[in-house]
Amino acid sequence: MIRILMNAGFGLSLLAVTTVGQGPVVIDVGQVITVSGATMEGARIVCKDGKIAAIGREIAVPKDATRIALPQGVAFPGFVDAGGYIGAHRHRNETTRPVMPDLRMSDALDGSDPAIARALRAGITSFHVMPGEADLVGGQTSVAKVDLDGHVTWLRRDGLLKVSLATAAWDKKTPPTHLLGGLEDLAALKDDPAVKPFWSTACLVAARSSAEIAAATDLKRRLGIEPLLLVNANIVDHTDRLVGNVRGVLLEPLLPQLGNHWRRAAARLAASGVPFAFASRAPVAPADGLRLSAVTARMGGLSRSDAWKALTLDAASLLGVDARVGSIEVGKDADILVMTREPSDPRARLMWVVQDGRVVLNPLSIKENR
């Protein structure tokens, strides 16, 4: 028997449903934004066994399926948060010693953290969990998704090595006590067997001030490190330095109150041809800031398609998990959002979240404490 959760419009009855069982899920919407390919009008998505089984217009509905029918809805891939501390923010900074390449955020992630529910409510179905910036080498990042039952699925358990050139790593009483000292310490680590495997292709460097960003973009020349940069809107003044020196950029939250110059950071990155993605810094910053970055970037001249990719496929690609998430494609994980409009439209509302083929929530039904 087909269970129809909603068959017309966007009504209040939508708010009552929280979690639906594990059988097939069929999503009928007015538009499917695949991100990786063409946008489809009036299409159907069939999710089965946690994967996207079919996409099209003339697809049979399995008899035992849960059906979400939203004729005016927009289906979009689940957001991939390129950087934050979801599930581990209390353990993001160890600070017992400045260099800790053996620390893994996968060992610190708590599947019961209320920040996970808030992230799902914001449409984040996969996230990159990082060490903080208080240590020069803070440890290894991870890419995960967690359902409302607290079950963790690792997309990449051992990710990138997090290096911090940000002020928190050197503006203190213990070495390094200045940016130059941090760079000298990194040079001393160049041939360290604990960090060498990460150095050229799997290094994430946090930098925020203009001086820090300049130093980070010079790491390839200095040490042979071609990093992925974690930066803020200050990158807008340094995009000419990025090509050939970095693998990509994880851009921290862009807010509407930023001036026009800073709003253009994402558009400048796109124009330079450097891959980039949006990072929420949740729960230190609100998880909703991820989509707000896309809205703000559009105000700064970023194209709609580039905003979509920065929320999903480009984030997944930079993190090395694009084979599973980041777009709506047959065979990929069934992580799908149903919205009233495309996500870079400030008027858009998130109506449903499907994670691994399971209808996990309407965002308004999540309780803060699970």
Is residue 370 over pLDDT 50? no
DSSP 280-321: --TTTS-TTHHHHHHHHHHHTT--HHHHHHHHTHHHHHHTT-
Residue 305, C-beta contacts closer than 8 angstroms, at least 6 positions apart: none
Separation in Å, CA 28 to CA 4, 58, 92, 124, 294: 10, 11, 41, 21, 25
Cα(91)–Cα(31) distance, integer angstroms: 41
Class in CATH terms, 80-318: alpha beta
User: Is residue 157 exposed (0-12), middle (13-18) or buried (19+ Cβ within 10 Å)?
Assistant: middle
pLDDT at position 13: 32
Residue intervals in the chain for CATH 2.30.40.10: 3-77+327-365
End-to-end CA distance of the chain: 31
pLDDT digits (tens, 9 = 90+) for 191-224: 899 898 898 789 999 999 999 999 999 999 999 8
pLDDT at position 243: 93
pLDDT digits (tens, 9 = 90+) for 287-344: 999 999 999 999 999 999 999 999 999 999 999 999 999 999 999 999 999 999 999 9
pLDDT at position 230: 98
157: three-class secondary structure by DSSP: coil
pLDDT at position 142: 97
Asked whether 144 and 108 are in contact (CB, 8 A), the reply is: no
Assigned superfamily of 3-77+327-365: Urease, subunit C, domain 1 (2.30.40.10)
Report residue 166 as tokens: 């940000």
pLDDT at position 21: 53
Is residue 119 over pLDDT 50? yes
Q: How many CB atoms lie within 10 A of CB 160?
A: 28
pLDDT at position 7: 41
> Which of 170 and 344 is assigned the larger pLDDT?
344
Cα(1)–Cα(65) distance, integer angstroms: 7
Of 260, 173, 255, 268, give the one whose Cα is nearest residue 213: 268
pLDDT at position 5: 54
Is residue 168 over pLDDT 90? no
pLDDT at position 362: 62
| Eight-state DSSP code of residue 237 | G
Of 105, 185, 174, give the one whose Cα is nearest residue 138: 105
pLDDT digits (tens, 9 = 90+) for 228-284: 999 999 999 999 999 999 999 999 999 999 899 999 999 999 999 999 999 999 999
pLDDT digits (tens, 9 = 90+) for 344-364: 999 999 999 999 999 887 645
- Name the pLDDT band for 56 (thresholds 50, 70, 90): very high
**Angle subtended at Cα 122 by Cα 119 and Cα 125, rounded to the nearest 5 degrees:** 60
Cα(247)–Cα(108) distance, integer angstroms: 27
Residue 161, C-beta contacts closer than 8 angstroms, at least 6 positions apart: 101, 137, 139, 140, 141, 195, 198, 199, 202, 203, 204
Residue intervals in the chain for CATH 3.20.20.140: 80-318
pLDDT at position 31: 97
pLDDT at position 1: 46
**Across all residues in the chain, what is the average pLDDT?**
89
> What average pLDDT does this structure show over 223-228?
92
